């Protein structure tokens, strides 16, 4: 028998008049893991979180914590007895209470009975010197740290976080995310985080649950979702993409980069060939009509620069290919700003290209 997961969600369904908002959602989050429900607004991730928290009720499905049933369509453990902590984007600190009482709010007996636990957590989030301060005296980043300490004070088995960093200044966000992740790992808490930001999910998650239209369309480690997306939309959610379209002829599809294998698809089927901008390699076509350079595999495509912009760490170069004026974007580290009209060759690695049936 397998060791029970700290949090297990089985076949959750939640429907409203317009249809299913959460549609047969299942996943597990182990102790010490961070799982991210990731997806665009309206995909069902926040509704899933509210059901797990107990503030919304599923139409079918089960939720277990440490193997114990806490909610189905018959049994429903009240939210305050689920050993689940909550942390939201607005922090929701009590303005009339000092930091020490905010952190101790969910502990029986308050600050006097749990002075050591409160002090320990505030020290670990670098807020010990603010123990007597009030929320209005703190910055947004400091309030976020207090909210995290309060959520962890009762030692929850599971912590739910709904867009917890979205209200922070971008300059503070990465540092606070890293500090939060380190503390959660130390506590051994199973964490379910909702976000619409792929960068945040990639930075924090042990596993990503990618949602679309109420369903989990792909789940796994960040590396796997990025490098083996299930479809074009999944690839495009994690980065900008170039998309070439074509039709299958004899299990092959013609593109400006030569033919791509498309086995298992009938002749005439439309396909989408997805290329990330950072996977395009550039070479100058110095003669304007010179011979194509040797590509690692496949063919080089002749193109002309339409625009180039410097973005800080890299440059974005936009191209139009000679075949059908297909627009393509490439990113180049550092400063690279060739003028419009510059003829160039574009090359790619076939192992970094994704081919999907056109949906």
Q: Is 11 contained in some domain?
A: yes
Domain boundary among 177, 203, 236: 236
Residue 115: domain span: 7-236
Given 170, 205, 236, the domain boundary residue is 236
> pLDDT of 189-239, one tens digit each?
999 999 999 999 999 999 999 999 999 999 999 999 999 999 999 999 999
- Torsion of Cα atoms, 75 then 79 then 80 then 85, to 10°: 130
User: Looking at the structure, do residues 248 and 280 belong to the same domain, yes or no?
Assistant: yes
Could you tell me which residues come within 8 angstroms of residue 93 by beta carbon, excluding any fewer than 6 positions away? 102, 135, 143, 146, 147, 150
Total of domains in the chain: 2
Does residue 343 sit within a domain?
Answer: yes
Choose from 38-47, 99-108, 162-171, 180-189 the range with maximum mean pLDDT.
38-47
C-alpha torsion angle, residues 43, 46, 47, 53 (rounded to 10) = 160
**pLDDT per residue over 296-350, tens digit each?**
556 788 899 999 999 999 999 999 987 766 789 999 999 999 999 999 999 988 8
Residue after which a domain boundary falls, among 203, 236, 269: 236
Please check whether residue 353 is in contact with residue 279, taking contact to mean a CB–CB distance below 8 angstroms. yes
Query: Does one domain contain both 184 and 134?
Result: yes
61 with 179, same domain?
yes
Name the CA radius of gyration of the chain, rounded: 25
pTM assigned to the model: 0.88
**DSSP result, 163-227:** STTTTS-HHHHHHHHHHHHHHHHHHT-EEEEEES-HHHHHHH-SEEEEEETTEEEEEE-HHHHHH
Residue 356 to residues 213, 245, 319, Cα–Cα distance (Å): 20, 10, 23
Q: Are 163 and 28 within one domain?
A: yes
CATH for 27:
3.40.50.300
User: Do 347 and 205 share a structural domain?
Assistant: no
Q: How far is CA 244 from CA 142, 187, 229, 238, 270, in A?
A: 47, 47, 17, 18, 11
Co-location of 156 and 263 in the same domain: no
The stretches of 239-323 forming alpha helices (DSSP H) are none
Answer yes or no: is 1 within a domain.
no
- pLDDT tens digits for 56-90? 999 999 999 999 999 998 999 998 888 898 887 77
Task: With beta carbons less than 8 A apart as the criterion, state whether 89 and 167 touch.
Answer: yes
- Domain containing 277 — which CATH number? 2.40.50.100
């Amino acid at each position: 028998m397998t060791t029970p997961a700290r949090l297990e969600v089985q076949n959750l369904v939640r429907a409203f008049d317009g249809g299913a908002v959460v549609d047969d959602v299942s996943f597990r989050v182990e102790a010490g893991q961070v799982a991210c429900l990731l997806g665009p607004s309206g995909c069902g991730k926040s509704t899933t979180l509210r059901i797990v928290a107990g503030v919304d009720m599923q139409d079918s499905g089960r939720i277990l914590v440490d193997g114990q049933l806490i909610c189905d369509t018959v049994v429903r453990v009240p939210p305050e007895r689920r050993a689940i902590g909550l942390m939201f984007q607005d922090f929701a600190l009590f303005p009339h209470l000092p930091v020490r009482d905010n952190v101790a709010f969910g502990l029986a007996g308050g600050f006097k009975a749990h002075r050591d636990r409160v002090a320990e957590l505030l020290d670990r989030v670098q807020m010990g010197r603010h123990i007597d301060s009030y929320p209005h005296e703190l910055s947004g980043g400091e309030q976020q740290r207090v909210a995290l300490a309060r959520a962890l004070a009762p030692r929850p088995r599971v912590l739910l976080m709904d867009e917890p960093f979205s209200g922070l200044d971008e300059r503070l966000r990465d540092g606070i995310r890293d500090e939060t992740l380190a503390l959660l790992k130390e506590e051994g808490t199973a964490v379910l985080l909702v976000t619409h930001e792929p960068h945040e999910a990639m930075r924090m998650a042990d596993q990503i649950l990618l949602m679309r239209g109420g369903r989990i369309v792909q789940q796994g480690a960040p590396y796997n979702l990025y490098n083996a997306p299930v479809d074009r939309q999944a690839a495009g959610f994690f980065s900008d993409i170039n998309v070439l379209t074509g039709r299958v002829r004899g299990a092959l599809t013609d593109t400006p980069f030569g033919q791509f294998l498309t086995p298992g698809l009938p002749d005439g089927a439309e396909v989408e060939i997805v290329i990330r901008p950072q996977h395009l390699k550039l070479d100058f076509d110095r003669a304007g009509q010179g011979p194509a350079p040797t590509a690692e595999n496949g063919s080089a495509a002749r193109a002309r620069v339409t625009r180039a912009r410097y973005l800080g760490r890299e440059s974005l170069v936009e191209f139009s290919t000679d075949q059908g004026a297909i627009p393509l974007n490439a990113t180049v580290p550092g400063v690279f700003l060739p003028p419009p009209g510059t003829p160039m060759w574009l090359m790619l690695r076939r192992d970094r290209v994704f081919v999907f049936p056109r949906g």
